Structure 1
């Protein structure tokens, strides 16, 4: 499907233009096709390597969730600044490239805008079929805006959300459509409006893993409300999502099935990942930075120490390796990874956090332990049981960071928690005898817009949300 429609995909990404296009529906050049049927438009959702990719690589670097080889750190100065938490670095100056995070999300938004504007008047489909695709595009657009606002703007705080700027908002696929850099509150209002309008029309069963279903709509609502510190609504939608899909993958079984292979010394042959399109935990699937059949990231020794003893998911994904003077944990799985979508485990842990915050600590830990039983090997497993709210919250957040590694949510959660001020996130490490630190109130928790966007903002203006 991707190749069939690549000649009609003219992308506006607030400065990323295609010279031959006045708008998406102008006369097609020879050899191209103008979409008219619902199937023509629906193919944009299947264009997974453009519209369904969520690259948050610099957030992963800031969290030190991946191992970086020294040569890459020397070459990429922006990566080096984030990886070593260099608060003196001018990341605006270093971010000269047309960063994939920004342009990738706006490319998808432009396609989803196209669908929202046109699918209800397409041919060869029933009204119900048209409305489903319209609703799916609304959810995907809202998800993309959520990614942008939680990367390039400060985190949501109710008292300041109406005064701080977010990211440019554009709702048209026309090349010359105007944009406005709205406030954080306006962006969240827009996201929730899209979701609330879409939910009544979402199907219970997805056409493919790329198409959001009703469970995805509820799960994404829970994610948004949690980020807004609205724990009552987040819990409500988490329960609705889990009523649609509450399946958890048994990583202890996967590890035991592959134990001999995984424990063979110096064997780094890759296994096929179970976290692909048909992963039972998927609500909706979106790629991360690696968008083709690839292996996932390696991780540092420091990062490995944040996993629980006996974590079968960890033991199935990484193995320690030393090459020269460098020791790290080498990846063991290859294939597709749902780093940009939504899974049931995230919703379980949203529910657990909301219950603990509501004073239902034992109930929240019961939800957490439901997840852990499918992850921690029986010989290492013990229920986490405590009446202390802080201990319970730390256990939930630790599990969530490990489960959702390489996606946006650990970064978004850290920003949310730092703004709240109760469960602050900060880091410290020693490398080659030097100590590096990232404080919870560092400006580095907000990423700068790429220079290509600020210097060529399309039909609008863009103001940086961070000083450097």
Structure 2
């Protein structure tokens, strides 16, 4: 059987836990599997943050109106797009099922589920751990499993609604016993597991704090659990609970990075060379957070706003902001535009002969955008929940706390602070601010919930107008076609990679379209 992936997880220099032929199907061989035995083994397992922080599903990058998929960009820079951009960007389910598994986030999140189950199955027998230490590890494992199931459900399942409860969810994997059923549970059962794990995660006693001068954001904490709970209940349009948990996280930690004083451009000169028609040198202005490609600790944990650090990782480095997204920024006064929208970015990834300038969205290095629960997200959740519950003036006050840390301090007050004359206008402005603050990482989740709440004013119908394409080529000699993702489209559930269904001998059922 052709191997789809190998789980390789290093606890110490030489302990390897598993190697399997498919993410859900076969157990590791006895020769390859060595379970952790001591408390330090389990702590090392969870402190190996590089196994947890990345989220890699390209559907989240390319599948929303935050991403620029256009004939204009292709005509100017034909290497901008390949099969993944066009497939995920137009919600093509047929080609999406055949896309490479590593583009979908499927293996990474199931690996995290396996690690959580490994802890839950074995921690009780660890002789050198106290009851409190075991309880914290158990709670953290439930948190990790809930988090990964939530990510997977929002990519591969339809939005959670009363109408959709009986639709296909995910396989329920709650142990490392590979004899568990591979069939997909219902969406209701899947969300029940997430909520149950979330409630168990609240047993954690580790508060959010600092270790060696860095926020302890690579491990679960009380603030991290509250932050994820706020995100979970917001996805269910439960504004009371979402606000309650967002406030609990903010009560524990509410420090924002002030872009006026705590952001700057890189001190390392960066240049691109274009042929126009002769060679011309162009200086590229990156934020300083771009510089340390591999130094996660110094730039990413030190940034300081995350309760639980995760990052959306676009390994193709082509996070092009759409014209629709760019139009939402005050390009004069919004420091997020100044530091994160890098002008002429396309020159650096090949659009130099002939030259074609298009900006890129850059946060950490070229493809990493933070997306774990954070202080900005909690302020935005709180503001939205206040506004949707009728306290729209209070909601604007909450979101303006964030804007004070993001807008140029020299701008007039009317440019810094959002204002509105009605609840509907206030909600709209808060949602626009959410999009400016967290582009790409939350837009897919947000469109799903907007289209399934009781407020029709925030519905989003996304469309793409692009050339026809196949798995191997973009047919730019043909007329562009328009594709629409309707409000209740079944394409809000991306297809499970076909190779997983084949390897499971059909136990995994593909989404219906």
Classify the TM-score, shorter chain: 0.7 to 0.9
Aligned to 1:79: 85
CA-to-partner distance for each residue in 1:38-96, whole Å, 9 max, x for gaps? 111222223333333211211210115345775556642x431332x266x62354335
How far apart, CA to CA, are the structure 1 residues paired with 2:200 and 2:444?
28
| Alpha-carbon shift at residue 15 of structure 1 (Å) | 4.3
Aligned to 2:325: 303
| Alpha-carbon shift at residue 98 of structure 1 (Å) | 5.4
Aligned to 1:416: 449
User: Given the alignment of the two structures, is residue 326 of structure 1 paired with residue 372 of structure 2, yes or no?
Assistant: no
User: Given the alignment of the two structures, is residue 398 of structure 1 paired with residue 432 of structure 2, yes or no?
Assistant: yes
Aligned to 1:382: 416
| Alpha-carbon shift at residue 152 of structure 1 (Å) | 0.5
**Would you say how many aligned residue pairs link Structure 1 and Structure 2?**
451
- 1:259-338 residue pairs with structure 2 within 5 A? 266-268=282-284, 270-273=286-289, 276-289=300-313, 297-309=319-331, 310-321=333-344, 323=351, 324=354, 326-330=356-360, 334-335=364-365, 337=368
How far apart, CA to CA, are the structure 1 residues paired with 2:329 and 2:510?
36
Secondary structure, in 3 states, of the residue corresponding to 2:203?
A: helix
Structure 2's unaligned 5+ residue stretches are 1-8, 272-280, 290-297, 468-478
User: Given the alignment of the two structures, is residue 231 of structure 1 paired with residue 239 of structure 2, yes or no?
Assistant: yes
User: Given the alignment of the two structures, is residue 164 of structure 1 paired with residue 167 of structure 2, yes or no?
Assistant: yes
Aligned to 1:465: 511
CA-to-partner distance for each residue in 1:386-407, whole Å, 9 max, x for gaps? 1322221121111212222232
TM-score using structure 1 length: 0.85
Question: Which of 232, 237, 247 lines up with 2:255 in the alignment?
Answer: 247
How far apart, CA to CA, are the structure 2 residues paired with 1:275 and 1:436?
41
How far apart, CA to CA, are the structure 2 residues paired with 1:377 and 1:162?
46
CA-to-partner distance for each residue in 1:6-49, whole Å, 9 max, x for gaps? 65221569645677x24xxx5x56xx854110111222223333
How far apart, CA to CA, are the structure 2 residues paired with 1:332 and 1:386?
31
TM-score using structure 2 length: 0.78
Secondary structure, in 3 states, of the residue corresponding to 1:307?
A: coil
- 1:79-98 residue pairs with structure 2 within 5 A? 79-83=85-89, 85=90, 90-95=94-99, 97=101
CA-to-partner distance for each residue in 1:401-451, whole Å, 9 max, x for gaps? 2222232x2211101111234411133566699574534424432211110
The more displaced of 57-66 and 94-103 is 94-103
- 1:21-40 residue pairs with structure 2 within 5 A? 21-22=28-29, 26=30, 34-40=35-41
The more displaced of 423-432 and 371-380 is 423-432
CA gap 1:308/1:462 in 2 versus in 1, 3 angstroms: farther
Aligned to 1:213: 221
User: Given the alignment of the two structures, is residue 368 of structure 1 paired with residue 399 of structure 2, yes or no?
Assistant: yes
CA-to-partner distance for each residue in 1:169-203, whole Å, 9 max, x for gaps? 10112333333412222111111111111212231
- 1:193-212 residue pairs with structure 2 within 5 A? 193-205=196-208, 208-212=216-220
CA gap 1:11/1:150 in 2 versus in 1, 3 angstroms: farther
Question: Which of 436, 446, 451 lines up with 2:498 in the alignment?
Answer: 451
CA gap 1:436/1:371 in 2 versus in 1, 3 angstroms: farther
CA gap 1:97/1:220 in 2 versus in 1, 3 angstroms: closer
CA gap 1:384/1:401 in 2 versus in 1, 3 angstroms: same
CA-to-partner distance for each residue in 1:297-327, whole Å, 9 max, x for gaps? 3434453223233211221122221643533
Secondary structure, in 3 states, of the residue corresponding to 1:4?
A: coil
How far apart, CA to CA, are the structure 2 residues paired with 1:259 and 1:339?
19
How far apart, CA to CA, are the structure 2 residues paired with 1:268 and 1:369?
31
How far apart, CA to CA, are the structure 2 residues paired with 1:36 and 1:254?
43
Higher relative contact order (CA 8 A, sep 6+): 1
| Alpha-carbon shift at residue 109 of structure 1 (Å) | 0.3
Aligned 8 A contact 2:287 2:339 in 1: no
The more displaced of 246-255 and 231-240 is 246-255
| Alpha-carbon shift at residue 230 of structure 1 (Å) | 1.1
Q: CA RMSD in A?
A: 3.3
How far apart, CA to CA, are the structure 1 residues paired with 2:181 and 2:207?
35
CA-to-partner distance for each residue in 1:211-231, whole Å, 9 max, x for gaps? 110011111111111111111
Structure 1's unaligned 5+ residue stretches are none
